Structure formats: structure tokens, C-alpha cells
Amino acid sequence: MSSILVIADLHLSSERPDISQCFFDFLIAESNQHKALYILGDLFESWVGDDDINSFTLKIAQAIKDFSAHTPVYFIHGNRDFLLGKKYAKRCGMTLLSESHRIVDFNKSILFMHGDQLCLDDVEYQKFRNKSRTWWWKTLMLCLPLSFRKNKAAEYRAMSKLSQMDKSDDIMDVAEREVQRVVQTSNCDWLIHGHTHRPNIHQLDQHKQRIVVGDWYTQGSVLLLSNNGAELKSLPLPTN
């Protein structure tokens, strides 16, 4: 087992059973074949707290738990599931990581992140991100009734969709100056993230790459890392 799998932006919900089934099929097909699986955020369409447990979230947890019995699973929070906590992570058998996590493998320095912190030109979102990641804001939210949190999450999603209609693609993409700063500061060879839903391998210079993992809305998107380099793969969603 000499490879690593990376996924992000599945946006799992009970309303999209095709994405969930694609994820289940992926976990079964790749079981016990890799040294690690990294999930770079937005595993769920929304996550309002570990107390929101139902048959759907339990089924997802069990599938990841079964996979993690043979392969370590690591999770970095996204902008939709930053309230996912230790309790649910334990159900899944996955390890929570900080918002930027660096490893050395395949003779490369690799930096993983969700990627929303790179989108500096989306000033409105960055203000919300800075506030919502504070311990006091998360503590306050998790003290509120579950029904209130669900309604508030739905409001945020609706507001976000309206806001995006008025924003250019450049504003919602990463800021190149921030990419350069992060790469220089961390001295990473591979900067790997999701969030923008624009899968691609960007050559930064002769040795460094920014690799974007895609979303799962219309197909599964998987990044395979190995000694042969980085390879983006797509998975068909089931039709029935």
C-alpha cells in the first residue's frame, strides 16, 4: 500500500442518494489498498452538530468506520461542516486535523487544506469565516436547540446562493497572492485543497503544484497520490 487517496466536497445529504451510493461504492472498492484517506471538508451538505444523529448520518459513519479498520482516515473541516466534532469523528473512526496539515511522503512536502482560507477576495465570506471559527461562536451555536441550528444553516445556504449570484468567478476562486504566500511559507511541493469545485493540477513552478480536488455533484472526484505523482480521477454516479 504505497498510495494516498484524497476527496473533498461530497456534500452528502439524504436528498442525493446517488452521491451517497457513489461514496459507499468508492469505499468498498478502495478498501485496504492505500496507506491513508484524506477528506478535505464539506463531507456533508451541512452539519449543525454531533447531536444531529439519524439513520443517514449513522450509515455514513458506519461506512467510513468499516473503511478505517484497514486504512487511516483523516478529516479537515470545510465551510459546511466545521461544527463536526470529536464525537462524530469517533463514530467514523477518523482523525480530526487542523485547517492546514503538512506531511512528507513520496519525496514531497504536501500541504492539505479545505481551501476556503485561500479565497481572500471574497471579503464577505472571509468575515463570516473568521467569526464562525472562533471557539465562542461555535460554543454558542452548539448551545442552541437543534431545530434552530437546522433553520439557521438553511438560511445561511440560501443567503450564500444569493450572494454568489452577484460575485464573479475570480472573487470566489483562490487569490494567487495567498497561494504564493502559503507555498513559500510552508515550502510545500504540493498544495492540495478542495472548496472551489474546479478540479485541476496547476503547475506553480518546475517543482511545485497546486492540486484542486473536485466536488461530487455530477460525478465522484478522487485524487490519487503516489510515487508516480498526482492523478485526478472521476467516478460515475449511479443512475438508479
Q: 211-220, pLDDT tens digit by residue?
A: 999 999 999 9
Residue 163 is predicted with a pLDDT of 64
Q: What is the pLDDT of residue 240?
A: 66
pLDDT at 93: 98
- The per-residue pLDDT of the chain, averaged, comes to 93
pLDDT digits (tens, 9 = 90+) for 30-66: 999 999 999 999 999 999 999 999 999 999 999 999 9
Confidence of residue 171 (pLDDT cuts 50, 70, 90): low
Cell of 48: 449543525
Pairing of strands 108-113, 100-105: antiparallel
Question: Who wins on pLDDT, 90 or 128?
Answer: 90
Distance CA 35, CA 115 (A): 23
Give 219's DSSP letter. S
CA-nearest of 175, 201, 174, 176 to 190 is: 201
Is residue 105 over pLDDT 90?
A: yes
The secondary structure of 175-217, three-state, reads: CHHHHHHHHHHHCCCEEEECCCCCCEEEECCCCCEEEECCCCC
> What pTM was computed for the model?
0.94
pLDDT of 99 reads: 96
State the DSSP string of 118-171. G-TT-HHHHHHHHHHTSHHHHHHHHHS-HHHHHHHHHHHHHHHHHHHHTS-HHH
Neighbours of 225 (CB within 10 A): 25
Would you call 61 helix, strand, or coil by DSSP? helix
